[in-house]
Structure 1
Amino acid sequence: MTWVSAASWTLKEYGGCDMARRRQRLAQRRQAMGLTQEGLAEHLGVDRSTVVRWEAGTASPQPWMRPRLAETLGVSVTEIVELLQRETGPSPGRPALHEPTRSGTAQVDLTSVAELRREYDELAASYDQAPSASLLAKGGEQLSLITLMARKGPRGRAERELLALRADVLTLMGQLVWDASQRRDHATARGFYDESVGVARRLRDHTLEGRALLRTCYVELYGAQDPRSGLDLALQAANTARATSPAVTGLALLHAGEAHAMLGEASDCEKALAQAQQQLEQTDGMDAAADLVSSTQFGRLAGSCYLSLGQHRRAQKFLETTATELQDRRKSRAIVLGNLTLAYIRQGEIDGAVATLAEAITELERTRGGGGLNVVFGAARELGPWRNERIVADVHDRLFALMTTA
């Protein structure tokens, strides 16, 4: 079974790139499979005019069409990104490949890769501040360029650095797609993460592999709502990165703790949280994933764990402190505020719940973070019994306005 990247539909529907360019490669792939436009349309159950618009670049396939389109064309996630990208050269300021040598093969050196790494770092730094949909086009362009450069046959350190960058971009693309789909497009996110795992294994880089496995764990825990599968993946990530990265190991154990909490396993949850704290305290500048660790992560996950376990007052204390410290990370803060709203509601503190929910909505108006949207909508549903009260009605109106523009 093949799958397809949501990066393609986001380029149009989220305003990332100019779509008014013909997708010659998409048409060529269809022809290579022996399909006419009518034949592809028949396979997919759409009108021929729909396929014409896809190939003309004036429309993109809808998210639910991706798996069937991928299966019909027999393509991978990277190939789909390429097929649906605009067919232009590198953007201004982008690193150009060196001129071809006498053998006709272009060279890729460490300078070119370092410039791409800088662009990736800038994009990743934007994740917690900007809507994921607005970042998808840039991520897709980076992935396409990395794929092109990889075909030029870099060797030695340049090849390794390019592959490591590819693994990072694939993981980020999974995050962006899942978030932009409001955590609904599990298959595409998993596809990016699976490919990142494959690249990391080729590099024998256990830290990179652990990061991608941890992201797959998030999809199982918070998307598929399968804590048992999420727990298995969290422990796999922790075991994979244990010898190389206390940061990834600690984060994975935090999420193992949350999986235990979802399963009602309080004792195992406490053990996992304690082990996670020990690992996170060992993180230093020699850890390649040290940038993933912040002072707020333990409080954020511990608060969520105690909320799942029904220890609402204890959850409230962790979440209040964490929300105060998270002023510069809007997507994460929206999730914490949503959980804090739930802690207040379940203790009957409606005024506190409404004030916190309003603050969470303010963060979401800026970022449209899929995780935050899901938590906040859930909190609003729990406010249902008080919907006739004026303060609750006002915050529901704001949430409705957010929903219509999300």
Structure 2
Amino acid sequence: MGLAERRKTLGYSQEKLAGLLGVDRTTVGRWESGRIEPQPPQRRGLAIALEVSLQDLDALLTELRATGQQSSDHPSAGDPDEMIRREFLRILTVSGALTALPVDGAEALTDGVLRGMPADFERMNSHLWQVYQLARSKGSVYPVIRDQLTTLNEALAVSRGSSRLLLSAAADLFQMAGEVAFDGNRYTDAAASYSLAASVSKDAGAYDLWACALVRHAYVDMSEQRYRQAAQMLGAAERLAGRGDSDLSTRHWVASVQAEAYAGLGDLTACERALDQAEKVRDLTADSTNGGWLRFDGTRLAEERGARYVQLGRLDLAEATLKTALAQTALASGQSYRRRGAVLTSLAAIGAKRRDPDQVLAYGREAVSLARASASGYVARRLQALCDEFGPLSRDHRVAELGAEIATLSTP
């Protein structure tokens, strides 16, 4: 029996199943045809909706793969994101050849084509990061990012002397595209965007930008609990940041994310050492961030430290730290839904570890509301991981209802 047959057996239309899972009807159709697979955070909700175990769901997906149909890791030739990446790589190859040509030859090839101004791209990118940061739904920013990448491709195709500045602008945009994909739990697209950002940053000689691309790539590894691989990636980022601008906060952000990897490895000493290094960001000037691809200013360190203590099982240290962070992320202060949702989920996780259903419900319900309001796949993924902590609490009907709500959250 395939996915479609199981859905029909339960009397669901594609529209009904899509509504239960918070995805588009076409997504269900693509699952059933084998063109894409549900992401790991989506599988739990799909298994619940189809009334099968995760093992049975995996068997159904394996059967679809065996038919030879296309997987989501291999986009079709018409996939717009893949086309942008291919065109970008083609332009890098051509522009490299142009720089090797005599001036007259290069000008002949680019005659009549408008040249892009690097400063304009830098200003536009800075504006896009501000829009991204304020947007409740991060995916809403992506069409603008795509348009900007297309325009930048055209400029790179004809650039010569200013290519390094344009490459930096491109690396910046690919990091932003990766952030949108990561927030939507599209890990393959996120990793591809971060890898491209790192490669282009290298060509631009932009060490801080390069290090930040590696940090973001490490988050993909950690989202799949590959902490050792993340630690290796962050070690490389640390070395790159050491060659960058000492007035920027890059190396302190690297340390903050290293703390998460060390917590995942169960190393409290290394985790706290990294957090202490991250705290030194407070010694820098107000110009240590750019509000775009580098935004680490230490304001989130309380919630980061609290979340790390939860990872390590040090609930005594975690709760007080997280409550301080929660006050700092009050919605009245204009902080992001995603950030507050993450803190609430960590506090709910403490309740789950203590077998305290009231604490789980108090914080978990608010986090669910924020995940719905923001359509954040990141918060939804954190909440779905919380369900794994419920254990015996799942016998409490209120906690079971919360788990059912979490299972229907959208993880696009």
Calculate the TM-score normalised by the size of structure 1: 0.70
Unaligned residue ranges in structure 2 (runs of 5+): 1-22, 28-66, 91-106
Structure 2 residue identity aligned to 1:63:
S
1:79 matched to 2:96: no
Q: Which residue pairs with 1:323 in the alignment?
A: 326
Residues 79, 267 of structure 1: alpha-carbon distance in 2 compared, 3 angstrom cutoff: same
- Give the Cα separation in 2 of the matches to 1:341 and 1:382: 10
Q: CA deviation at 1:12?
A: 12
Q: CA deviation at 1:390?
A: 4.8
- Give the Cα separation in 1 of the matches to 2:200 and 2:83: 14
Q: Which has the higher contact order (CA 8 A, sep 6+)?
A: 2
**Percent of residue pairs bearing the same amino acid type:** 20
Q: Which residue pairs with 1:18 in the alignment?
A: none
CA contact (8 A) 1:77 1:192 kept: no
Mapping 1:311-350, distance limit 5 Å:
311-326=314-329, 327=331, 328-350=335-357
Q: Which residue pairs with 1:219 in the alignment?
A: 220
Size of the alignment, in residue pairs? Answer: 324
Mapping 1:65-214, distance limit 5 Å:
65-66=74-75, 69=76, 78-79=85-86, 104-110=111-117, 113-128=118-133, 129-156=135-162, 159-180=163-184, 182=185, 185-214=186-215
1:63 matched to 2:68: no
CA contact (8 A) 2:344 2:363 kept: yes
- Give the Cα separation in 2 of the matches to 1:318 and 1:347: 17
Q: CA deviation at 1:109?
A: 5.0
1:382 matched to 2:359: no
Superposition CA RMSD, Å: 3.4
- Give the Cα separation in 1 of the matches to 2:25 and 2:146: 12
Q: Which residue pairs with 1:277 in the alignment?
A: 279
Q: CA deviation at 1:395?
A: 2.9
Q: Which residue pairs with 2:42 in the alignment?
A: none
Structure 1 residue identity aligned to 2:295:
L
Q: CA deviation at 1:388?
A: 4.6
CA contact (8 A) 2:215 2:254 kept: yes
Q: CA deviation at 1:65?
A: 3.5
Residues 352, 187 of structure 1: alpha-carbon distance in 2 compared, 3 angstrom cutoff: same
Residue 405 of structure 2: which of 386, 398, 403 is its match? 398
Q: Which residue pairs with 1:97 in the alignment?
A: none
CA contact (8 A) 2:326 2:340 kept: yes
1:360 matched to 2:367: yes
For 2:288, what is the secondary structure of its paired residue?
Answer: coil
For 1:126, what is the secondary structure of its paired residue?
Answer: helix
- Give the Cα separation in 1 of the matches to 2:355 and 2:390: 10
Mapping 1:296-307, distance limit 5 Å:
296-307=299-310
CA contact (8 A) 2:110 2:158 kept: no
- Give the Cα separation in 2 of the matches to 1:362 and 1:343: 19
Residues 288, 399 of structure 1: alpha-carbon distance in 2 compared, 3 angstrom cutoff: closer
The Cα offsets for residues 256-298 of structure 1, whole Å up to 9 and x where unpaired, read as 11211111111111111111212x1233244354651244321
Unaligned residue ranges in structure 1 (runs of 5+): 1-9, 15-43, 47-60, 84-99
CA contact (8 A) 1:164 1:203 kept: yes
Q: CA deviation at 1:370?
A: 2.3
Structure 1 residue identity aligned to 2:279:
Q
Q: CA deviation at 1:358?
A: 0.9
CA contact (8 A) 1:257 1:268 kept: yes
- Give the Cα separation in 2 of the matches to 1:196 and 1:145: 17
For 1:296, what is the secondary structure of its paired residue?
Answer: coil
- Give the Cα separation in 2 of the matches to 1:228 and 1:237: 14
* Higher mean C-alpha displacement, 227-236 vs 133-142: 133-142
Structure 1 residue identity aligned to 2:255:
L
- Give the Cα separation in 1 of the matches to 2:158 and 2:245: 31
